[in-house]
Structure 1
Amino acid sequence: MRRKSEMHTIKNEKDYKAALKRIDCLMDNAAPGTQEEDELDVLTYLVDKYEEEYFPVDMPDPVTAIKFRMEQSGIDRKDLEKYLGGKAKVSEVLSHKRQLSLSMIRRLHDGLKIPAEVLIKKVALF
């Protein structure tokens, strides 16, 4: 006979830690198609929602996101010219001397798949 799960929403740190402990146990033991796998799915969702609310992660500034994508994709400043509009603009954007325009944001989002919500943040200019 299967044990009835006692899942509930995560309301505090104690619930959160208990859910993480249970997830750790289930990760090693939940077989596909079982009640334990279903419990793992639900607990993972609940922990994710709790973390979103209580441990929000700040989005990077646009320049950091662009540089990260450059590194990830193996592209250089020259490759950015088609998104930002030329060598001077690439230099100004990457050195925090120019804000991204709407057309730059669109091209970066469409071409490099950088989330628009990251790109629209204002850059602290130097």
Structure 2
Amino acid sequence: MEEHMDIRPIHTEVDYKATLKEISALMESDSDPGTPEGGRLDILTTLVQAYEARHFPIGALDPVEAIKFRMEQGGLSVKDLEPFIGRSNRVYEVLNHKRPLTLGMIRRLHQGLGIPAEVLIAEIAAG
């Protein structure tokens, strides 16, 4: 029996925020790849990426700023980033430019939060 997913394109800010909220809920429920919920999470993340690419061109944004942007858009806390980066002290180190992203972190942030890999591997702007 195939489940109807009822997924629609994101056209407005309201659609966008509702989709981010659903992504957040699916992430909290640990939706596994290969399950209907995991598939839904993949599809919704792809829709959000497409919407953001059109409406929020990131350009030469540094990886940490991209992570902070995703946290702000999704209402995510440091605790929400722990599955992608590590314990909270490590999350703070990354967010404060004290620790570089590892390849594993980049993969998990890209797959789990839909942050484009090319943004995550960009050089951090010297400030």
Give the TM-score, by structure 1 length. Answer: 0.52
| Corresponding residue of 1:35 | none
Partner residue in 2 for 1:115: 116
Equivalent-residue separation in structure 1 for 2:91 and 2:98 (angstroms): 10
Q: Percent same amino acid among aligned pairs?
A: 60
Could you list the runs of 4 or more consecutive aligned residues of structure 1 that deviate by over 3 angstroms after TM superposition?
none
Which blocks of at least 5 consecutive residues in structure 2 are unaligned? 1-57
Tell me the secondary structure at the aligned position of residue 98 of structure 2: coil
Alignment match, 1:86: 87
- CA distance in 2 between counterparts of 1:72 and 1:117 reads 19
Distance 1:70 1:94 in 2: 11
User: For the residues of structure 2 that align with 1:68 and 1:88, how far apart are their CA atoms?
Assistant: 19
Higher relative contact order (CA closer than 8 Å, sequence separation 6+): 2
Sort the Cα spacing of 1:72 and 1:88 in 2 relative to 1 into closer, same or farther, 3 A: same
Q: What is the CA-CA distance between 1:121 and the residue it aligns to?
A: 1.3
d(CA) in 2 for partners of 1:63, 1:69:
10
Per the TM alignment, residue 85 of structure 1 is displaced from its structure 2 partner at its CA by 1.0
Measure, in 2, the Cα distance between the counterparts of 1:103 and 1:123: 17
Paired with 2:102 and 2:123, the residues of 1 have a C-alpha distance of 10
Aligned to 1:75: 76
| Residue-by-residue CA offset, 1:4-26 (whole Å, 9 max, x unaligned) | xxxxxxxxxxxxxxxxxxxxxxx
> Number of matched residues?
71
Q: Which runs of 5+ in 1 are unaligned?
A: 1-56
Whole-Å separation in 1 of the counterparts to 2:114 and 2:78: 17
Equivalent position SS for 1:96: coil
Which structure: larger Rg? 1
Residue 101 of structure 1: aligned partner: 102
CA drift at 1:88: 1.3
- Residue 7 of structure 2: aligned partner: none
